[in-house]
Structure 1
Amino acid sequence: MIKAIVTGHTRGLGAAVAAELVVRGIPVLGVARGRAEIGEGMEQAVVDLSDAAALAAWVGGHALRSFLAGCDQALLVNNAGMVTPVGPLADQDPLAALRAVTLNVAAPLALAGAFVQAAPQAERRILHISSGAGRSAYPGWSVYCATKAALDQHARAVALDGDPRVRACSLAPGVIDTDMQAEIRATPDDKFPLRQRFVDMKDSGVLLAPAACAVHVVDYLLAGGFGGRPVDDLRG
């Protein structure tokens, strides 16, 4: 039996991935700071993953072990993330940077460890939703770029650990038409000089629909060769 955990399941790519897994008959535990309208086959845990104390309390509890009990294959999709703070260092709110690092890095790394320990008999697959920003630096995105690069390095190091029953990949899914993209397009040029590039992508219709992207993400996650490339990109 396969079971999956998806963070940030209430909107965007996370919602689409959770829905795609459920359609394929895979029970899902969604973890986010709010709730979503869901049907059968999905449970929810309300946890603010940008709050270190809340994250620690939930990871230290029994929810993961209870949900994953009895599964032969366990999946973790670390999707939750935030692009803010945006801008040069002189304009960044340090507390916003702290929240971003907690959500984008501390949460997926802590969840990965807790997830592996919660299902010791299962084959475990960890999928970090990364970004091209983790592999190329952009002005104004110092925090976002650094946090996504951290996920890439985490997956590389997990692969080097050599446990054949634990596979990890940090995957860039492409540019998706989500609320985060709308937030990027609304950023002033002086904080993000490359804003127009993202406006142009929206205007030219090249942004991926979350549901369509989710099909490819789930196909990738379930493929036999998952983890063969610890850092990968759906765009090839």
Structure 2
Amino acid sequence: MKKAIVTGHSKGLGAGITSALLEGGYNVLGLSRSALPGFASGLEQVALDLGDTAALADWVQSGELAGFLEHAERAVLVNNAGMVEPIAPLGRQGAAAIARAVTLNVSAALVLADAFVAATEGLADRRLVHISSGAGRHAYTGWSVYCATKAALDHHVRGVADDGIAGLKVESLAPGVIDTGMQATIRATPEDDFALRERFVGLKESGALGDPVSVGARIAVHVTGERFGEETVTDIREL
């Protein structure tokens, strides 16, 4: 039996990945604050705020994650949930916004990765993918927090790869610029906080943003394919 866990599965890229995995015969456990409508067979959903460390720890300790992965012949974890805020120069970001971004973008992904590996011990085919960003590899004004959190995911898989865990393949995968709610947030940011705002407005107006359904399908094909894990830090546009 093929099983996958997808965070942030109910919208945007996460919904695209989830749909493609279901079509590929995977049972999927979706973790998000909201539900993905229109799916029944093969999809289990848990309402969970991944930005709440205590709630996530309690859920992991409940055994529900391990129970879902029981009897899997192949297991996949897709850490997709994330946020781009706060968008602002240093000094105007705010303590609460910084802490929430680091918790959601980094802490939740690392906690789930650890629980996933523990729950799949002995499995010959288990795969961990962090959905990263080009912002983790190139700095952007106003995005210092987002850039730092995505760079953390890239470096995390490098360290995990060096651990040499049996049966585990890992990647930190950038999906490109996609037409999601995150892009809407970026375009709504005042130019005083994000000097590159007009560039992203132009991407939307010119139709240059990727479609989350088609990009999600490409990611699902790659994550479940033979080449997954050949490189630890990758970009779907280059595969």
User: How far does residue 235 in structure 1 lie from its aligned partner after superposition?
Assistant: 1.7
Q: Which amino acid aligns with 1:110?
A: V
User: How far does residue 119 in structure 1 lie from its aligned partner after superposition?
Assistant: 1.5
What does 1:142-221 align with in structure 2 at a 5 Å threshold? 142-221=144-223
In 2: Cα distance, 1:73 partner to 1:36 partner: 23
2:141 is matched with 139
In 2: Cα distance, 1:108 partner to 1:65 partner: 16
Deviations 1:118-150 (A, max 9, x none): 111322100100000000111111110000000
TM-score (norm 1): 0.98
User: How far does residue 225 in structure 1 lie from its aligned partner after superposition?
Assistant: 2.1
Deviations 1:36-56 (A, max 9, x none): 213211001111000111111
User: How far does residue 187 in structure 1 lie from its aligned partner after superposition?
Assistant: 0.6
Structure 1 residue runs of 5 or longer lacking an equivalent are none
What does 1:63-78 align with in structure 2 at a 5 Å threshold? 63-78=64-79
Q: Which amino acid aligns with 1:214?
A: G
1:99 is matched with 100
RMSD: 0.9
Deviations 1:50-93 (A, max 9, x none): 01111111122201111011011100000000000110122112
- Answer whether contact 2:122 2:166 (CA < 8 A) is retained: no
In 2: Cα distance, 1:59 partner to 1:139 partner: 36
User: How far does residue 164 in structure 1 lie from its aligned partner after superposition?
Assistant: 3.8
1:45 is matched with 46
SS in 2 for 1:91: coil
What count of residue pairs does the alignment treat as equivalent? 236
- Answer whether contact 1:158 1:167 (CA < 8 A) is retained: no
User: How far does residue 207 in structure 1 lie from its aligned partner after superposition?
Assistant: 0.7
SS in 2 for 1:219: helix
TM-score (norm 2): 0.96
SS in 2 for 1:59: helix
1:19 is matched with 19
Q: Which amino acid aligns with 2:99?
A: L
SS in 1 for 2:77: strand
- Of stretches 105-114 and 88-97 in structure 1, the one that deviates more from structure 2 is 88-97
- Answer whether contact 2:109 2:130 (CA < 8 A) is retained: yes
- Runs of 4+ with deviation above 6 angstroms: none
Structure 2 residue runs of 5 or longer lacking an equivalent are none
